[in-house]
Amino acid sequence: MVVSYIRPGDDGPFSTAIYEIGIINNVGIFKPIHPKLQKPLMVFSDQKVEAITFKKRDLILMTDNENFGSTFLLIKSK
């Protein structure tokens, strides 16, 4: 996963898109997804996601919205 965000200044507006750019197999070899096939998995308006991590199968996102503080989002796996 990779995050791309727009940050025109410390007061926003912010926008973030999260993309899957490829797969790392069990021996550590990275296989990229063709750039023309990449589409955002998630898009967040008014948020600047700066950290992504996993806890087991759940996804944790952290934001830094500069003058507007930060947020934490836990996305539970199904």
Query: pLDDT tens string for the chain (78 positions)?
Result: 666 776 677 777 788 888 888 889 999 999 998 877 778 888 888 888 888 888 998 989 998 888 888 888 898 988
- How many structural domains does the chain have? 1
Asked whether 36 and 9 are in contact (CB, 8 A), the reply is: no
Q: How far apart, in whole angstroms, are the C-alpha atoms of residue 67 and residue 30?
A: 37
This prediction has a pTM of: 0.67
Determine the structural domain holding residue 27 and report its residue range: 2-75
At a CB cut-off of 8 Å and minimum separation 6, what does 68 contact?
11, 12
Bond before 13 cis per omega within 30 degrees: yes
